Amino acid sequence: MIKDNQKTFNRFHGILDLIALFIAYTLSYVTRFIIFKPDKGFLPWSTMLHYSIYLLPAYSIIYYYCNLYAPKRSKGHKTEFFNIIKANIVGTIYFILLLYIFKKDINVSRSFLTIFFMMNVAITYLYRRILIKILHSIRSHGFNLKHILIVGYSRTAEGYIDRIRANPQWGYHVLGILDDTKQEGDMYKNIKILGGTHKLTELLEKNTIDEIAITLSISEYSKLEDLVAACEKSGVHTLFIPDYNNIIPTKPYIEDLSGLPIINIRRVPLSNTFNKTIKRCIDIIGALVAIIIFSIPMLIVTIAIKTTSKGPLIYSQVRIGLHNKEFKMFKFRSMEIQSESAEKKAWTTLNDPRVTPIGKFIRKTSIDELPQLFNVLRGEMSLIGPRPERPYFVEKFKEEIPRYMIKHQVRPGLTGWAQVNGYRGDTSIRKRIDHDLYYIENWTLGLDIKILFLTFFKGFINKNAY
């Protein structure tokens, strides 16, 4: 039933997309040639209407291959917006080729193409958000439900049920759970254990099930092959939700070794030579530019430190960097001179007497970190990356916090994803590591630019720096 509903909905969705496309096309024409009427190169509506005959069916095909008709029950709006952008970029390229084939109107249509691109993205995204809101409301009231049978009771099964219960707008209804380790009749959040996994074939024959979710505990994976075979024999759509999410990332990197799938336990985009080279080039250029820009502030800080307290201008501290190698990280000195044994095991605390008057200011504004630009030039650090830690705390945290050492698979940075999200200074180490791992596994050049941008707006002033 749910499959038929999806097909009907996709047809309806396709018609609405064509209507939205034609509205955007018409409004773009009105904007370009009626409201902002050009002095020359005016195109009559009949000419533009002629082009639309070729555009409408092509856009339908493009939308389909850009996953705009995939089920949307649990899809995020950001994913759909990205797909709409991607589809319209492809559509615009097709439109340009169309103009080239006709070999006319290509010059005067550039502004129209720009208006049409923006108009179509805006209208398509807006109407789809409204449609999704309507569907969510319908599903929240118990209509258009997808009926699911869960096979295997585990922490993954509990997590799956928790998410379904927290999002009724997805329209999922769990019929029950099959499991060989639980008593029949036991319940989890009002969802019953219907019996052992041997009942799967019987339930598939007697019930209208839209989807099977296999959530076996990792110790029961020997049953997986037979269960998948039974599900595929019935023709019911089957999901496998692994019970090792604490081992592999949410988006694992899978390689094909002559037909043998290999799952990389940790995907690190910066292990790619091209990515490393691009990032390193940007680090060198960025560090040189930053040194020039901040040369006067650094000179002022130099004079202030030397005239207000005794001791060296630059303070170097051993930190752990790429591949667990030690390096000396540079900072402007912000504290009174202390013994190395006392310094290496202590956090700086609120109203710490060791911090100098000028030190309070440069720590709060992160000016004390500017000498690390030279660490970047030396290749010991990057502009963006997880913050490096002292050896004593690395040894301590690697025993207390799972996956802590993964942060050393990339160069440490002056600023990072954890820092722009508020995890600096005396804040949760676990949350900081979670953000560092997200950065490591999801690195893109765009993410680096985003972090750099956020650093200028909320990353320099550190309320947790004492």
Which CATH number fits the domain that encloses residue 171?
Answer: 3.40.50.720
Are 444 and 340 within one domain?
A: yes
d(CA 71, CA 10): 9
Q: Which of 50-59, 161-170, 410-419 has the highest mean pLDDT?
A: 410-419
Same-domain pairing of 106 and 158: no
Residue 8 has pLDDT above 70, yes or no: no
Strand order in the sheet with 237-240: 187-188, 191-195, 172-178, 146-151, 211-214, 237-240
On whether both 355 and 428 belong to a single domain, the answer is: yes
Residue 152 within any structural domain of the chain: yes
More confident residue, 463 or 364: 364
Burial of 249 (0-12, 13-18, 19+ CB in 10 A): buried
Mean pLDDT of 93-110: 70
Q: Are residues 11 and 76 in the same domain?
A: yes
Q: How far is CA 466 from CA 134, 199, 363, in A?
A: 50, 62, 7
Is 327 in a helix, a strand, or coil? strand
99-104 long-range contacts (CB < 8 A, ≥24 apart) are 99/51
Dump pLDDT digits (tens) for 56-92.
889 989 988 888 877 655 556 677 888 899 899 999 8
Packed helices 273-293 and 445-454: angle between N→C axes, nearest 10 degrees: 20
If one counts the domains in the chain, the total is 3
Q: How far apart are the first and last CA of the chain?
A: 62
pLDDT digits (tens, 9 = 90+) for 313-367: 888 889 999 999 999 999 988 877 665 555 555 556 556 667 777 877 888 788 8
| Site of tokens 């850009």 | 66
Question: What is the per-residue pLDDT across 248-259, written as a single tens digit (0 to 9) for each?
Answer: 766 677 777 788
The answer as to whether 259 is a domain residue is no
Average pLDDT over residues 145-174: 86
Q: Please tell me the distance from the alpha carbon of residue 460 to that of residue 454, in angstroms, as a whole number.
A: 9
Domain hosting 10: range is 2-140
Cβ-contact 433, 417 below 8 angstroms: no
Residue 317: closest CA among 420, 423, 402, 412: 412
Please state, in angstroms and rounded to a whole number, the distance separating the CA atoms of residues 314 and 443: 32
Q: Is residue 264 part of a domain?
A: no
Q: What is the CA radius of gyration of the chain?
A: 29
Question: Who wins on pLDDT, 123 or 208?
Answer: 123
When pLDDT is averaged across residues 123-142 and rounded to a whole number, the result is 80
For residue 353, being part of any structural domain is answered with yes
Question: Which of these three, 87, 120, 140, is where a domain ends?
Answer: 140
Q: Is the pLDDT of residue 465 over 70?
A: no
pLDDT, residue 40, reads 66
Query: Do 307 and 403 reside in the same domain of the chain?
Result: yes
Q: Give the Cβ contact number of residue 250 at 10 Å.
A: 9
